[in-house]
Amino acid sequence: MIRILCLLTAFITFLNANALQKAIDGAEVGSILKLKAGVYRGSLVIDKPLSIIGVEDGVIIDGEGNGTVIKVQSSYVTLKNLTIQNSGDRHDKLDAAIAISDASQCEISDIKIRDTLFGIDMSNVRKSIVKNNTITSKDVDLGLRGDGLRLWYSNENLIKNNSLIRSRDMVVWYSHGNIIEDNYAEHCRYSLHFMYAGKNYIRNNKYQFNSVGIFFMYSKDSVATGNVIRSSLGATGMGIGLKDVSNFTLKNNTVIYNAQGLYIDRSPFEPDEHNWIEDNNILYNAEALHFHSISENNIIKNNNIQGNIEDIVNDSRGSKTDDNDFEENYWDNYEGFDKDNNGIGDTPHRVYKYADQLWTYNPNVKFFYGSPVISMLNFLAKLAPFSEPVFLLEDAKPKVEMRK
């Protein structure tokens, strides 16, 4: 039978040192510790299955600026309806609000995390739930903050409906089979960053005002669908990035108001593999598709590409962007007709680079992009090319109306 311990703190502002730790140490396996409103001292270690649940608002666990506030070193631990604050500030020790290691089937939910270096640090954690948490880092420069949510060798977890505000990154490294859905991030660096991670499912997240929305590196076999990435900050603010990834599906995402919409670098990485980029809205970015290095065999189909300054950029001489499969995309600057009214242009949509290739290969020239000088050079180059234009892509079946 589960033993329930209630710590009555209605009139106590701060418990004596280690009182909550003593309650944890003395609790039987499977106990539920129900906390009333008050401030409890942190630096806690949980090494057995149990639950700590705030039964009122205002349950605060304070780390007093020392180390990690709560360390979870057991499976079957639940933390719920708490405010966790004031961790240490040492990056080398990964000072965090919550650190979970070598555990499975834990739940971290309805937690408010503030003034901590790292938020939730998960190392070798499986089949656990992290949901409905709000995470804010320490009030320091962006690069000096810790990661709001960190998965390291952690598989088959559900990460749902969390908000990262003014943190650094959410990282998923060496971690597979996770579902990451309905999360929100703003004013972070990488709102979601994958490395050496596979078979993850990323859906219905919203990221805005970060440096990078979603970046995938050295990964494969993942699906990103229904995500909204908007207004990534800075001259290189990125919506979705693919670097050395294979067998990816990007579907039904909206990428809007970024410097770079989709950034594709040597992807797919493995021979004879593909990436599928389908049914996305790529809207009002400075660059819709930015290719770096050789990236072939991407299937880019049925996307709405509208309002971007440049539809496609290839910044590496010799790259073969035309070796990707472009088909049935809507391009707002398509210049053909649809005489048979079948919704497909009568002629292919072809994109060439004229004088504007100057700024593509020399970023210093980009200062003049959009100026009358570059516009005039482009116009003259199309009338009477003074150099061979660079062929970038052909969409053999361009749509003449946006997909709804």
Q: Is 348 within 8 Å of 395 (Cβ atoms)?
A: yes
What band does 1 get if pLDDT is binned at 50, 70 and 90?
Answer: very low
Measure the CA–CA gap between 247 and 257, rounded to whole angstroms: 27
Instruction: Quote the tokens at residue 227.
Output: 């995500």
Total Cβ atoms within 10 A of residue 99: 23
Tell me the domain boundaries of the chain.
1-148+156-166, 169-354+389-404
What does the pLDDT read at residue 67? 96
What does the pLDDT read at residue 372? 60
pLDDT at 266 over 70: yes
| pLDDT tens-digit map of 144-161 | 999 999 999 999 999 999
Mean local confidence (pLDDT), 236-263:
96
Measure the CA–CA gap between 277 and 290, rounded to whole angstroms: 13
Q: What is the CATH number of domain 1-148+156-166?
A: 2.160.20.10
Name the superfamily (CATH) of residues 169-354+389-404.
Single-stranded right-handed beta-helix, Pectin lyase-like (2.160.20.10)
How far is the first Cα of the chain from the last one, in angstroms, to the nearest whole number? 56
Cα separations in angstroms, 22 against 25, 43, 48, 271: 5, 12, 13, 57
Q: What percent of the chain has pLDDT over 70?
A: 86
Highest mean pLDDT among 15-19, 80-84, 315-319: 80-84
Nearest to 127, CA basis, from 156, 159, 102, 152: 156
Cα separations in angstroms, 217 against 245, 263, 264, 287, 314: 6, 12, 11, 20, 19
Total count of residues recorded for the chain:
404
Q: What percent of the chain has pLDDT over 90?
A: 77
| pLDDT tens-digit map of 172-224 | 999 999 999 999 999 999 999 999 999 999 999 999 999 999 999 999 999 99
**What is the C-alpha radius of gyration for the chain, rounded to an integer number of angstroms?**
25
What does the pLDDT read at residue 5? 47
Answer yes or no: same fold for 1-148+156-166 and 169-354+389-404. Answer: yes
Measure the CA–CA gap between 369 and 260, rounded to whole angstroms: 15
What's the 3-state SS for the chain? CCCEEEECCCCCCECCCCHHHHHHHHCCCCCEEEECCEEEECCEEECCCCEEEECCCCEEEECCCCCCCEEECCCCCEEEEEEEECCCCCCCCCCEEEEEEEEECCEEEEEEEEEECEEEEEEEEECCEEECCEEEECCCCHHHCCCCEEEECCECCEEECCEEECCCCEEEECCCCCEEECCEEECCCEEEEEECCECCEEECCEEECCCEEEEEECCECCEEECCEEECCCCCCCEEEEEECCECCEEECCEEECCCEEEEEECCCCCCCCCEEEECCEEECCCEEEEEECCCCCEEEECCEEECCCEEEEECCCCCCHHHCEEECCEECCCCCCCCCCCCECCCCEEEEECCCHHHHHCHHHHHHCCCHHHHHHHHHHHHCCCCCCEEEEEECCCECCCCC
Mean local confidence (pLDDT), 332-361:
81
Total Cβ atoms within 10 A of residue 125: 27
Measure the CA–CA gap between 221 and 245, rounded to whole angstroms: 8
| pLDDT tens-digit map of 56-94 | 999 999 999 999 999 999 999 999 999 999 999 999 999
Instruction: Quote the tokens at residue 24.
Output: 């944890």
Within 13 Å, how many C-alpha atoms sit on residue 140's CB side? 15
| pLDDT tens-digit map of 103-143 | 999 999 999 999 999 999 999 999 999 999 999 999 999 98
